[in-house]
Amino acid sequence: MTSQQNIKVLEDLSEQWNRSPLRPDGKNHFDDQTFARKVFWCVWELYEGVECDGLGLYFYNEADSAKFATTALTEIGAFRTLNIVNRAAEMVFPEGFPETEDEMRGHVELAYLFENSAASQALREGLNELYEPFDAASLELVGLLYDFVLKHPKEFGVTPPAPN
């Protein structure tokens, strides 16, 4: 399959997640998912989030799953992307990840979104410099995630395409 076909399969899985039954509070809670689904969701949200909004907003928008990124990327073997995400996390959270999602979002708001200090400008520039290597690794990331999904057919309902 081509990269575009892999992306389509992964997009369809993401849509299934978005349409799945929600908890009474209206959310699909990341912590309630199986390990394989956490890996899928975390990696897919990383891919989509960074491609759309960049690394700084990824940590803001995906605060529920961002701490799991190291585990997820290691699980699928995406070590190039793991290195980039770890470098970004060290820039945004030099003292380590905050304990809660709200603290994480608050930190990103102060350090990245709303502050106009020289330090915030340097942070934005540093994260922007990581976008190009992330983009260069993104096709590999999609391929590794697709392979991971194929290794879990009972979890995701995806089977390898028939050989030509």
Domain membership flag for residue 162: no
Domain membership flag for residue 87: yes
Domain of residue 47 covers: 3-156
pLDDT digits (tens, 9 = 90+) for 47-76: 999 998 888 889 988 888 888 999 999 999
CB 4 within 8 A of CB 11: no
Domain membership flag for residue 22: yes
Domain membership flag for residue 74: yes
pLDDT band at 23 (very low <50, low <70, confident <90, very high): very low
The Cα 84–Cα 55 span in angstroms is 10
Domain membership flag for residue 98: yes
Task: Please tell me the pTM assigned to this model.
Answer: 0.85
Tally of domains within the chain: 1
Domain membership flag for residue 61: yes
pLDDT band at 25 (very low <50, low <70, confident <90, very high): low
Domain membership flag for residue 164: no
Q: Exposure pattern of 76-110 as b/e (b: 16+ CB <10 Å)?
A: bebebbbebbebbbebbbeeebbeebeebbebbee
Q: Is the pLDDT of residue 137 over 90?
A: yes
Q: How many residues comprise the chain?
A: 164
pLDDT band at 108 (very low <50, low <70, confident <90, very high): confident
Summarize the confidence of residues 34-39 as an average pLDDT. 91
Residue in 78, 76, 106, 77 with CA at minimum distance from that of residue 93 = 106
Domain membership flag for residue 161: no
